Each structure stands twice: as structure tokens, then as C-alpha cells.
């Protein structure tokens, strides 16, 4: 799904660049095809303006969709929810172990002789 959206997004970007470059510039220095043709200059300007607006809207929609789709793949994780991983001692070939619960402390031994004060 993400790949399809990305391909559509790139195609829209290419068409948007082409339509913007076809428009007549106000300065007159970079205008392409400023002269005649099948359409009048006013009709061509309306068509190119509407096409640009439509492609810009589609570009924004695909950008938002790509952001939503890419964010759906990552699940938020807390370090408090993950199990504790205890690394193996240096020089040991044993794999690291995973503790699921903390160890219970040992009960103190009964003193054999009472402590005198």
C-alpha cells in the first residue's frame, strides 16, 4: 500500500512540475509556448490554473496519506513494558538471559548466638 501511494505521489509531483513549467510567466522571460495553438490564451490559462490546483490538492492528500501509512507501522513501546535483559559476563559464551520477574531476596539466617550489648 505504501509503495503504491509513493509511486502515485511521485507521478503527481512530476505532472505538477510539468504543468507549472507550461504556464506563462508574468515576467515573460521563462514562458514556454506563449503564442497560438488550438486554445486561446485565456482558456489555456484557466485550464492550466485549474490543473495546477487539482494536482497541488492531490499532492497534499497523498502526502498526508503517506504520513498516516508510515506512522501505522511503528508501535509505540515503553522500556518499562519490555523484559529485563541481563548481559552475559565477559569471557562467557553463554547467551544473554531474559528475566521475567525480579529475584526474591533471600531470608536472613537466624543468628546462632545472641548479640550482647
Q: Would you say 42 and 21 are in contact if contact means Cβ atoms under 8 Å apart?
A: no
Strand partners, 98: 85
What is the residue extent of each domain of the chain? 2-21+41-72
Q: What is the pLDDT of residues 8-28, one digit of tens each?
A: 999 999 999 999 998 877 665
Confidence of residue 54 (pLDDT cuts 50, 70, 90): very high
Give the per-residue pLDDT at 28.
55
In 14-116, DSSP assigns E strands to: 84-86, 97-99
* For range 87-113, the mean pLDDT: 66
Which has the higher per-residue pLDDT, 109 or 52?
52
Q: Which residues, at least 6 apart from 11, have a Cβ–Cβ distance to it below 8 Å? A: none
Specify the pLDDT at position 92: 63
CA gap 51, 19 in Å, rounded: 7
pLDDT above 90 for 61? yes
14-23, 69-78, 92-101: least confidently modelled range: 92-101
Mean pLDDT of the chain: 76
What is the SS3 assignment for 84? strand
12 CB-contact burial (10 Å; exposed 0-12 / middle 13-18 / buried 19+): buried
Q: What is the distance between the alpha carbons of residues 11 and 9, in angstroms, rounded to a whole number?
A: 6
User: pLDDT tens for residues 34-53?
Assistant: 554 445 566 667 888 999 99
Amino acid at each position: 500500500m505504501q509503495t503504491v501511494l509513493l509511486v502515485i505521489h511521485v507521478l503527481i509531483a512530476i505532472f505538477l512540475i510539468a504543468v507549472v513549467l507550461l504556464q506563462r510567466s508574468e515576467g515573460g522571460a521563462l514562458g514556454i509556448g506563449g503564442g497560438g495553438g488550438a486554445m486561446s490564451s485565456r482558456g489555456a490559462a484557466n485550464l492550466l490554473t485549474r490543473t495546477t490546483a487539482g494536482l497541488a490538492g492531490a499532492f497534499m492528500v497523498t502526502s498526508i496519506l503517506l504520513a498516516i501509512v508510515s506512522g501505522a507501522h511503528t508501535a509505540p513501546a515503553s522500556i518499562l513494558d519490555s523484559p529485563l535483559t541481563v548481559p552475559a559476563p565477559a569471557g562467557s559464551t553463554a547467551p544473554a538471559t531474559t528475566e521475567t520477574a525480579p529475584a526474591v531476596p533471600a531470608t536472613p539466617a537466624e543468628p546462632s548466638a545472641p548479640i550482647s550489648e
